[in-house]
Structure 1
Amino acid sequence: MFNSQAPNPDDLPTSAQLVKSTVISVIAAGVLLVTVVMPSEYAIDPTGLGSAMGLTEMGEIKSQLAEEAELDRQKDQNAGESLIAPQAAPAPPEGSSLLDRIIREFGISAAYAQDAMRQDEVSITLQPGEGAEVKLVMLKGAKANYAWTANGSKVNFDTHGDGGGESISYEKGRGAAEHAGVLEAAFDGNHGWFWRNRTGDPVTVTLKTDGAYSDIKRVM
């Protein structure tokens, strides 16, 4: 029989220390997800480190093999259907998609997993007096980094959003050569930029975006 001595309260971790350890663990898991797991498993490389370490190529090979295996499975299934009575199509395996696998393995939200890795670059040439509008399709609270330049010229701009009967103006400017920042959606809908060329010469606007949005489109 052994007698155990109660631990000294001073030796136990505090609540603040436990919270700090949890936060560090979550951040570390997120870094590993973006820099290692996603490039090597799904060929998604938002940081570029996956390509530098050869992980993205590994993910591309895995994705290609998975697609070929699925095609073979479908061929075998179709061949079998000609020999047996028709049956109801089997339900897709739970978590078979990339999105479901990420959610299941890392516990992140569906909206974030779907949109967080999007990156785009758009160039639009505006004639004198002409305007153009580009919008990102975003969920409320989603964020997107952006940077646009008039490539040596200047334009007037209006950063705004609309959707579900709501509208908002985030920022306006006149005679701006460039602009950059983070666009956070105030509600579900379309959020983006309108530019107008008030100079006497054509102006090319180049927009670069990355973040949590599902689509980018030119509205006008």
Structure 2
Amino acid sequence: MTNPLRSLLVPLAVLWPAAAQAEVIDIAWSGAGRFEHRVTVAPGKFAEACGRLARAESIAWRFEASGPLNFNIHYHEGKKVRYPERRDALAGASGRLKVALDQDYCWMWTNKAGQPVTLQFQLER
């Protein structure tokens, strides 16, 4: 599945060069309904994992990082961004997303620190 949000990063990278180093990851569920990924988030950059979810799904999530990251789960309604979850300066957290709408949802981590941060996260249906 191709992530429609990827097409937004190309023009964004022209307007905001820092976006060129962002990592956008398509969620590819395993046969067991899991997705795991490890990535290094450069200073001032972000990593984002996105995928289509159906209403009434419930996704358990957790992450661990080598340093603090700003974290959110979001989706877009037209020009508005909705945040079912949003927290700052965390080196780890877990929770459960109860999907309210058929929508593309994204888990996003932003590194506001001056050094790279290693991030490992898991999603499970």
Q: TM-score, normalised by structure 2?
A: 0.67
In structure 2, what is the equivalent of residue 148 of structure 1?
63
> In the superposition, relative to structure 1, how do residues 167 and 125 fare at CA in structure 2: closer, same or farther (>3 Å)?
same
Contact preservation (8 Å) 1:164, 1:189: no
Corresponding residue SS for 2:67: coil
Q: 2:58, 2:78 → 1: CA distance?
A: 19
C-alpha distance 186-167 of structure 1, shift in aligned 2 (>3 A): farther
Conservation of the 8 A alpha-carbon contact between 1:163 and 1:190: no
Quote the Cα distance in structure 2 between the aligned partners of 1:167 and 1:127: 24
Question: Percent identity among equivalent residues?
Answer: 25
TM-score where L is the length of structure 1: 0.40
Instruction: Say if 2:54 is the partner of 1:139.
Output: yes
Aligned residues: 96
Query: Cα RMSD between the aligned structures?
Result: 2.3
2:115 paired residue number: 201
Choose between structure 1 and 2 for higher RCO, CA contacts under 8 A separated by at least 6 residues.
2
Structure 1: gaps (5+ residues): 1-114, 212-220
Normalized per residue, the structure richer in strand is: 2
CA distance in 2, matches of 1:161, 1:185: 11
| 2:91 pairs with 1:171 | no
Q: Does 1:184 align with 2:98?
A: yes
Secondary structure of the structure 1 residue equivalent to 2:101: coil
Tell me how far apart the structure 2 counterparts of residues 167 and 185 of structure 1 sit (CA, whole Å).
Answer: 15
**Structure 1 equivalent of residue 7 of structure 2:** none
Instruction: Please list every run of 5 or more consecutive structure 2 residues that lacks an aligned counterpart in the other structure.
Output: 1-29
Large movers: runs of 4+ above 4 Å: 163-167
Q: CA deviation at 1:166?
A: 7.3
